[in-house]
Amino acid sequence: MIKPHGSEELRPLFIENEDKRGEAAEQAERLPALQLNSAAAANAVMLGAGYFSPLPGFMNAADAKSVAEDLHTRGGLFWPVPCLNLCADPSSLGRVELIALRDPNLPGNPVLAVQEIESVEKLKDSQWESLTERIFRTRDPNHPGVATFMSLGRNVVSGPIRVLNYSYFERDFPGTFRTAVQIRSAIRANGWDAVVAFQTRNPMHRAHEELCKMAKESVRADGVLIHMLLGKLKPGDIPAHVRDAAIRKMVELYFPPNSVMVTGYGFDMLYAGPREAVLHAVFRQNAGCTHLIVGRDHAGVGTYYGPFDAQTIFDQEVPKDALQIQIFRADNTAFSKKLGRVVMMRDAPDHKEEDFVQLSGTRVREMLSAGQELPREFARPEVAHILMEYYQQEAGT
Protein backbone atom coordinates (compact mmCIF):
# COMPACT_ATOMS: atom_id res chain seq x y z
CA MET A 1 0.00 0.00 0.00
CA ILE A 2 1.11 3.58 -0.67
CA LYS A 3 2.98 5.10 2.27
CA PRO A 4 1.49 7.98 4.26
CA HIS A 5 2.85 11.42 3.59
CA GLY A 6 6.17 12.22 5.23
CA SER A 7 6.58 9.05 7.30
CA GLU A 8 6.60 5.28 7.17
CA GLU A 9 3.50 4.95 9.34
CA LEU A 10 0.36 7.02 9.70
CA ARG A 11 0.44 9.26 12.77
CA PRO A 12 -3.12 10.02 13.88
CA LEU A 13 -3.36 12.09 17.07
CA PHE A 14 -6.57 10.52 18.39
CA ILE A 15 -6.07 8.71 21.71
CA GLU A 16 -7.07 5.18 20.72
CA ASN A 17 -6.79 3.55 24.15
CA GLU A 18 -10.16 4.00 25.83
CA ASP A 19 -8.76 4.14 29.37
CA LYS A 20 -6.10 6.70 28.45
CA ARG A 21 -8.67 8.71 26.56
CA GLY A 22 -10.93 8.71 29.61
CA GLU A 23 -8.08 9.84 31.84
CA ALA A 24 -7.21 12.63 29.42
CA ALA A 25 -10.85 13.74 29.24
CA GLU A 26 -11.08 13.80 33.03
CA GLN A 27 -7.89 15.83 33.29
CA ALA A 28 -9.09 18.20 30.56
CA GLU A 29 -12.11 19.25 32.62
CA ARG A 30 -9.72 20.78 35.18
CA LEU A 31 -7.57 22.62 32.65
CA PRO A 32 -7.81 26.21 31.44
CA ALA A 33 -9.86 26.17 28.27
CA LEU A 34 -9.88 27.81 24.88
CA GLN A 35 -13.03 27.67 22.80
CA LEU A 36 -11.99 27.00 19.23
CA ASN A 37 -13.45 28.50 16.11
CA SER A 38 -14.87 26.03 13.58
CA ALA A 39 -11.75 26.16 11.37
CA ALA A 40 -9.42 25.23 14.24
CA ALA A 41 -11.85 22.55 15.42
CA ALA A 42 -11.82 21.05 11.92
CA ASN A 43 -8.01 21.09 11.94
CA ALA A 44 -8.06 19.22 15.26
CA VAL A 45 -10.43 16.59 13.83
CA MET A 46 -8.16 16.14 10.80
CA LEU A 47 -5.10 15.82 13.04
CA GLY A 48 -6.89 13.22 15.12
CA ALA A 49 -8.11 11.28 12.10
CA GLY A 50 -4.67 11.01 10.52
CA TYR A 51 -5.38 13.14 7.43
CA PHE A 52 -2.82 15.72 8.60
CA SER A 53 -0.18 13.08 9.33
CA PRO A 54 2.68 13.53 10.20
CA LEU A 55 1.97 16.93 11.80
CA PRO A 56 2.16 16.75 15.62
CA GLY A 57 -0.25 19.63 16.17
CA PHE A 58 -0.79 23.29 15.41
CA MET A 59 1.96 25.27 13.68
CA ASN A 60 3.66 28.39 15.03
CA ALA A 61 3.98 31.64 13.08
CA ALA A 62 7.38 30.79 11.62
CA ASP A 63 6.21 27.43 10.26
CA ALA A 64 3.02 29.02 8.93
CA LYS A 65 5.11 31.62 7.11
CA SER A 66 7.43 28.94 5.71
CA VAL A 67 4.52 26.82 4.49
CA ALA A 68 2.75 29.80 2.95
CA GLU A 69 5.86 31.00 1.13
CA ASP A 70 7.70 27.76 0.34
CA LEU A 71 5.23 24.88 0.87
CA HIS A 72 7.56 23.41 3.50
CA THR A 73 7.82 23.67 7.26
CA ARG A 74 11.11 24.97 8.63
CA GLY A 75 12.01 21.34 9.32
CA GLY A 76 11.63 20.50 5.62
CA LEU A 77 8.25 18.72 5.59
CA PHE A 78 6.29 19.44 2.43
CA TRP A 79 2.94 20.99 3.39
CA PRO A 80 0.63 23.19 1.30
CA VAL A 81 -1.59 25.09 3.79
CA PRO A 82 -0.70 26.19 7.35
CA CYS A 83 -2.42 24.18 10.08
CA LEU A 84 -3.29 26.84 12.64
CA ASN A 85 -5.14 27.41 15.87
CA LEU A 86 -6.03 31.10 15.56
CA CYS A 87 -7.90 32.97 18.25
CA ALA A 88 -8.97 36.56 18.80
CA ASP A 89 -8.27 36.79 22.53
CA PRO A 90 -5.62 34.58 24.18
CA SER A 91 -5.71 36.39 27.53
CA SER A 92 -7.46 33.47 29.26
CA LEU A 93 -4.48 31.22 28.55
CA GLY A 94 -2.09 33.11 30.82
CA ARG A 95 1.20 31.25 31.21
CA VAL A 96 -0.24 27.74 31.28
CA GLU A 97 1.48 24.85 29.51
CA LEU A 98 -1.56 22.65 28.87
CA ILE A 99 -5.09 23.65 27.81
CA ALA A 100 -8.38 22.04 26.89
CA LEU A 101 -9.68 22.88 23.43
CA ARG A 102 -13.46 23.20 23.46
CA ASP A 103 -15.69 22.44 20.49
CA PRO A 104 -17.68 25.39 19.10
CA ASN A 105 -19.95 23.14 17.06
CA LEU A 106 -21.63 21.09 19.80
CA PRO A 107 -24.00 22.14 22.62
CA GLY A 108 -22.17 22.80 25.85
CA ASN A 109 -18.83 23.12 24.03
CA PRO A 110 -17.35 19.78 25.18
CA VAL A 111 -13.60 19.23 25.15
CA LEU A 112 -12.39 18.17 21.70
CA ALA A 113 -8.65 17.94 22.34
CA VAL A 114 -5.84 18.81 24.73
CA GLN A 115 -3.00 21.03 23.57
CA GLU A 116 0.48 21.68 24.91
CA ILE A 117 1.24 25.38 24.58
CA GLU A 118 4.59 26.02 22.94
CA SER A 119 3.93 29.64 21.99
CA VAL A 120 1.24 32.28 21.61
CA GLU A 121 2.17 34.84 18.95
CA LYS A 122 0.26 37.78 17.54
CA LEU A 123 0.60 38.25 13.80
CA LYS A 124 1.43 41.69 12.47
CA ASP A 125 -0.70 43.17 9.70
CA SER A 126 2.05 42.46 7.16
CA GLN A 127 2.30 38.82 8.28
CA TRP A 128 -1.46 38.42 8.13
CA GLU A 129 -1.70 39.91 4.67
CA SER A 130 1.16 37.76 3.38
CA LEU A 131 -0.40 34.55 4.73
CA THR A 132 -3.77 35.40 3.19
CA GLU A 133 -2.29 36.31 -0.19
CA ARG A 134 -0.13 33.17 -0.38
CA ILE A 135 -2.86 30.74 0.68
CA PHE A 136 -5.77 32.18 -1.30
CA ARG A 137 -3.97 34.20 -4.03
CA THR A 138 -6.18 37.11 -3.04
CA ARG A 139 -7.05 39.29 -0.05
CA ASP A 140 -10.51 40.11 -1.40
CA PRO A 141 -12.91 39.93 1.59
CA ASN A 142 -15.66 38.75 -0.78
CA HIS A 143 -13.79 35.48 -1.25
CA PRO A 144 -15.54 33.10 1.22
CA GLY A 145 -12.28 31.51 2.38
CA VAL A 146 -10.62 34.87 2.89
CA ALA A 147 -13.68 36.16 4.75
CA THR A 148 -13.54 33.21 7.13
CA PHE A 149 -9.77 33.45 7.58
CA MET A 150 -10.02 37.17 8.39
CA SER A 151 -12.59 36.44 11.10
CA LEU A 152 -10.55 33.91 13.06
CA GLY A 153 -8.29 36.22 15.05
CA ARG A 154 -4.59 36.94 14.68
CA ASN A 155 -3.14 35.10 17.65
CA VAL A 156 -1.34 31.86 16.76
CA VAL A 157 -1.57 29.24 19.53
CA SER A 158 0.95 26.52 18.64
CA GLY A 159 1.87 23.15 20.03
CA PRO A 160 1.16 19.40 19.85
CA ILE A 161 -2.32 18.08 20.57
CA ARG A 162 -4.08 14.88 21.61
CA VAL A 163 -7.59 14.42 20.26
CA LEU A 164 -10.45 12.99 22.36
CA ASN A 165 -13.29 12.75 19.81
CA TYR A 166 -14.36 13.66 16.29
CA SER A 167 -16.85 16.43 17.13
CA TYR A 168 -20.25 16.13 15.45
CA PHE A 169 -19.04 14.12 12.48
CA GLU A 170 -19.37 10.66 14.04
CA ARG A 171 -22.77 11.54 15.52
CA ASP A 172 -24.28 13.17 12.43
CA PHE A 173 -22.68 10.94 9.77
CA PRO A 174 -22.10 7.55 11.42
CA GLY A 175 -22.29 5.65 8.14
CA THR A 176 -20.11 8.05 6.20
CA PHE A 177 -17.48 9.75 8.36
CA ARG A 178 -14.26 7.76 8.28
CA THR A 179 -10.75 8.50 9.49
CA ALA A 180 -7.70 8.00 7.30
CA VAL A 181 -6.91 5.02 9.52
CA GLN A 182 -10.29 3.43 8.82
CA ILE A 183 -10.08 4.02 5.07
CA ARG A 184 -6.61 2.46 4.90
CA SER A 185 -7.95 -0.53 6.79
CA ALA A 186 -10.91 -0.87 4.39
CA ILE A 187 -8.67 -0.61 1.32
CA ARG A 188 -6.46 -3.32 2.72
CA ALA A 189 -9.48 -5.51 3.55
CA ASN A 190 -10.78 -5.08 -0.02
CA GLY A 191 -7.43 -6.18 -1.42
CA TRP A 192 -7.19 -2.98 -3.48
CA ASP A 193 -3.76 -1.85 -4.63
CA ALA A 194 -4.60 1.12 -6.86
CA VAL A 195 -7.35 3.44 -5.62
CA VAL A 196 -8.54 6.63 -7.30
CA ALA A 197 -10.09 9.31 -5.07
CA PHE A 198 -12.81 11.76 -6.03
CA GLN A 199 -13.17 14.86 -3.86
CA THR A 200 -16.58 16.50 -3.69
CA ARG A 201 -18.46 19.16 -1.80
CA ASN A 202 -21.43 18.91 -4.20
CA PRO A 203 -23.87 16.22 -5.33
CA MET A 204 -22.60 14.10 -8.21
CA HIS A 205 -24.34 14.38 -11.56
CA ARG A 206 -23.91 12.11 -14.56
CA ALA A 207 -20.66 13.78 -15.62
CA HIS A 208 -19.06 13.20 -12.20
CA GLU A 209 -20.17 9.58 -12.21
CA GLU A 210 -18.64 8.97 -15.64
CA LEU A 211 -15.47 10.87 -14.69
CA CYS A 212 -14.89 8.45 -11.80
CA LYS A 213 -15.38 5.52 -14.16
CA MET A 214 -13.02 7.05 -16.76
CA ALA A 215 -10.33 7.66 -14.15
CA LYS A 216 -10.67 4.16 -12.69
CA GLU A 217 -10.29 2.61 -16.13
CA SER A 218 -7.46 4.93 -17.19
CA VAL A 219 -5.24 4.24 -14.16
CA ARG A 220 -6.42 0.62 -13.88
CA ALA A 221 -7.56 1.16 -10.32
CA ASP A 222 -9.14 -1.58 -8.23
CA GLY A 223 -11.63 0.81 -6.69
CA VAL A 224 -12.87 4.37 -6.27
CA LEU A 225 -13.00 6.38 -3.05
CA ILE A 226 -15.76 8.99 -3.24
CA HIS A 227 -14.69 11.27 -0.41
CA MET A 228 -17.06 14.08 0.48
CA LEU A 229 -16.42 17.06 2.70
CA LEU A 230 -18.75 17.01 5.71
CA GLY A 231 -17.80 20.29 7.39
CA LYS A 232 -18.80 23.92 7.00
CA LEU A 233 -19.51 25.34 3.54
CA LYS A 234 -20.44 28.73 2.14
CA PRO A 235 -24.13 29.77 2.11
CA GLY A 236 -26.05 28.19 -0.74
CA ASP A 237 -24.07 24.95 -0.91
CA ILE A 238 -26.09 21.76 -0.48
CA PRO A 239 -25.98 20.27 3.06
CA ALA A 240 -23.89 17.16 3.59
CA HIS A 241 -26.79 14.84 4.46
CA VAL A 242 -28.50 15.60 1.12
CA ARG A 243 -25.27 15.09 -0.84
CA ASP A 244 -24.66 11.85 1.02
CA ALA A 245 -28.08 10.44 0.16
CA ALA A 246 -27.79 11.46 -3.51
CA ILE A 247 -24.30 10.03 -3.94
CA ARG A 248 -25.19 6.76 -2.25
CA LYS A 249 -28.20 6.32 -4.52
CA MET A 250 -26.02 6.92 -7.59
CA VAL A 251 -23.42 4.39 -6.44
CA GLU A 252 -26.07 1.83 -5.53
CA LEU A 253 -27.70 1.95 -8.96
CA TYR A 254 -24.97 2.86 -11.42
CA PHE A 255 -21.64 1.43 -10.25
CA PRO A 256 -20.60 -2.23 -10.19
CA PRO A 257 -20.93 -3.82 -6.73
CA ASN A 258 -17.90 -3.50 -4.43
CA SER A 259 -16.12 -1.03 -6.70
CA VAL A 260 -16.73 2.17 -4.69
CA MET A 261 -16.35 3.33 -1.11
CA VAL A 262 -18.55 6.30 -0.16
CA THR A 263 -16.99 8.12 2.77
CA GLY A 264 -16.60 11.60 4.21
CA TYR A 265 -14.14 13.60 6.25
CA GLY A 266 -14.50 16.31 8.89
CA PHE A 267 -13.07 19.50 7.46
CA ASP A 268 -14.36 22.97 6.66
CA MET A 269 -14.01 24.03 3.02
CA LEU A 270 -11.29 26.62 2.38
CA TYR A 271 -12.13 27.48 -1.26
CA ALA A 272 -8.38 27.97 -1.68
CA GLY A 273 -8.17 26.55 -5.20
CA PRO A 274 -4.64 25.33 -6.08
CA ARG A 275 -3.31 25.18 -2.51
CA GLU A 276 -6.37 23.28 -1.36
CA ALA A 277 -6.05 20.84 -4.28
CA VAL A 278 -2.56 19.95 -3.03
CA LEU A 279 -3.90 19.60 0.51
CA HIS A 280 -6.56 17.24 -0.88
CA ALA A 281 -3.78 15.14 -2.39
CA VAL A 282 -2.09 14.89 1.02
CA PHE A 283 -5.39 13.79 2.60
CA ARG A 284 -5.88 11.04 0.02
CA GLN A 285 -2.32 9.75 0.20
CA ASN A 286 -2.70 9.49 3.96
CA ALA A 287 -5.98 7.62 3.39
CA GLY A 288 -4.18 5.08 1.17
CA CYS A 289 -5.20 6.29 -2.29
CA THR A 290 -2.77 6.12 -5.19
CA HIS A 291 -4.53 8.69 -7.44
CA LEU A 292 -6.62 11.83 -7.00
CA ILE A 293 -8.91 13.29 -9.67
CA VAL A 294 -8.15 17.00 -10.01
CA GLY A 295 -10.72 18.64 -12.23
CA ARG A 296 -11.42 22.03 -13.70
CA ASP A 297 -11.37 24.76 -10.99
CA HIS A 298 -10.82 22.15 -8.27
CA ALA A 299 -11.61 23.65 -4.83
CA GLY A 300 -12.18 27.02 -6.46
CA VAL A 301 -14.89 29.61 -6.14
CA GLY A 302 -16.08 32.37 -8.44
CA THR A 303 -13.41 33.58 -10.85
CA TYR A 304 -10.52 33.80 -8.39
CA TYR A 305 -8.54 31.00 -10.04
CA GLY A 306 -7.83 29.93 -13.59
CA PRO A 307 -9.67 26.79 -14.74
CA PHE A 308 -6.56 24.60 -14.52
CA ASP A 309 -4.52 26.36 -11.81
CA ALA A 310 -5.24 23.45 -9.45
CA GLN A 311 -3.49 21.13 -11.92
CA THR A 312 -0.54 23.32 -12.91
CA ILE A 313 0.46 23.88 -9.28
CA PHE A 314 1.56 20.24 -9.21
CA ASP A 315 3.93 21.00 -12.11
CA GLN A 316 5.14 24.45 -11.10
CA GLU A 317 5.27 24.47 -7.29
CA VAL A 318 5.12 20.90 -5.95
CA PRO A 319 8.56 19.20 -5.98
CA LYS A 320 8.50 15.92 -7.91
CA ASP A 321 9.38 13.81 -4.87
CA ALA A 322 7.08 15.64 -2.43
CA LEU A 323 4.09 13.31 -2.83
CA GLN A 324 3.67 9.68 -3.86
CA ILE A 325 0.03 10.05 -4.90
CA GLN A 326 -0.49 10.74 -8.61
CA ILE A 327 -2.88 13.24 -10.15
CA PHE A 328 -5.52 12.32 -12.73
CA ARG A 329 -6.07 15.54 -14.66
CA ALA A 330 -9.66 16.04 -15.75
CA ASP A 331 -11.34 18.57 -18.00
CA ASN A 332 -14.99 19.57 -17.89
CA THR A 333 -17.06 16.47 -18.53
CA ALA A 334 -20.47 16.47 -20.21
CA PHE A 335 -22.85 14.40 -22.33
CA SER A 336 -22.11 14.65 -26.05
CA LYS A 337 -25.19 14.74 -28.25
CA LYS A 338 -23.03 13.73 -31.22
CA LEU A 339 -21.48 10.68 -29.56
CA GLY A 340 -24.36 9.72 -27.26
CA ARG A 341 -22.15 9.43 -24.19
CA VAL A 342 -20.32 11.46 -21.56
CA VAL A 343 -16.88 12.69 -22.62
CA MET A 344 -14.21 15.08 -21.40
CA MET A 345 -14.52 18.18 -23.55
CA ARG A 346 -10.84 18.16 -24.46
CA ASP A 347 -11.41 14.77 -26.10
CA ALA A 348 -14.05 16.21 -28.44
CA PRO A 349 -12.27 19.05 -30.28
CA ASP A 350 -14.78 18.98 -33.14
CA HIS A 351 -17.68 19.80 -30.79
CA LYS A 352 -19.33 23.18 -30.36
CA GLU A 353 -20.87 24.30 -27.08
CA GLU A 354 -24.35 23.38 -28.25
CA ASP A 355 -23.19 19.79 -28.89
CA PHE A 356 -23.02 19.18 -25.12
CA VAL A 357 -25.79 18.87 -22.54
CA GLN A 358 -24.81 21.47 -19.93
CA LEU A 359 -26.73 23.32 -17.23
CA SER A 360 -25.52 26.06 -14.93
CA GLY A 361 -25.84 25.57 -11.21
CA THR A 362 -28.40 28.37 -11.13
CA ARG A 363 -30.51 26.69 -13.80
CA VAL A 364 -30.33 23.33 -12.01
CA ARG A 365 -31.56 24.93 -8.79
CA GLU A 366 -34.38 26.72 -10.63
CA MET A 367 -35.58 23.55 -12.34
CA LEU A 368 -35.44 21.39 -9.23
CA SER A 369 -37.16 24.04 -7.10
CA ALA A 370 -39.96 24.17 -9.68
CA GLY A 371 -40.28 20.38 -9.74
CA GLN A 372 -38.97 20.12 -13.29
CA GLU A 373 -37.10 16.98 -14.35
CA LEU A 374 -33.44 17.42 -15.26
CA PRO A 375 -32.32 15.93 -18.58
CA ARG A 376 -31.33 12.29 -18.11
CA GLU A 377 -28.12 13.04 -19.98
CA PHE A 378 -27.25 15.47 -17.18
CA ALA A 379 -28.47 13.71 -14.02
CA ARG A 380 -29.69 10.29 -13.04
CA PRO A 381 -33.42 10.63 -12.26
CA GLU A 382 -33.15 8.89 -8.88
CA VAL A 383 -30.44 11.35 -7.85
CA ALA A 384 -32.33 14.35 -9.22
CA HIS A 385 -35.43 13.42 -7.23
CA ILE A 386 -33.48 13.50 -3.95
CA LEU A 387 -32.18 16.97 -4.83
CA MET A 388 -35.62 18.10 -6.02
CA GLU A 389 -37.15 17.19 -2.69
CA TYR A 390 -34.51 19.25 -0.88
CA TYR A 391 -34.90 22.32 -3.10
CA GLN A 392 -38.67 22.23 -2.92
CA GLN A 393 -38.51 22.07 0.88
CA GLU A 394 -36.13 25.04 0.85
CA ALA A 395 -38.52 26.93 -1.42
CA GLY A 396 -41.46 26.03 0.83
CA THR A 397 -43.39 24.27 -1.94
Residues classed as catalytic: 201-202
Sheet containing 223-229: give its strands across. 260-265, 223-229, 195-200, 291-294, 326-329
> For the chain, how far is it from start to end, CA to CA, in angstroms?
50
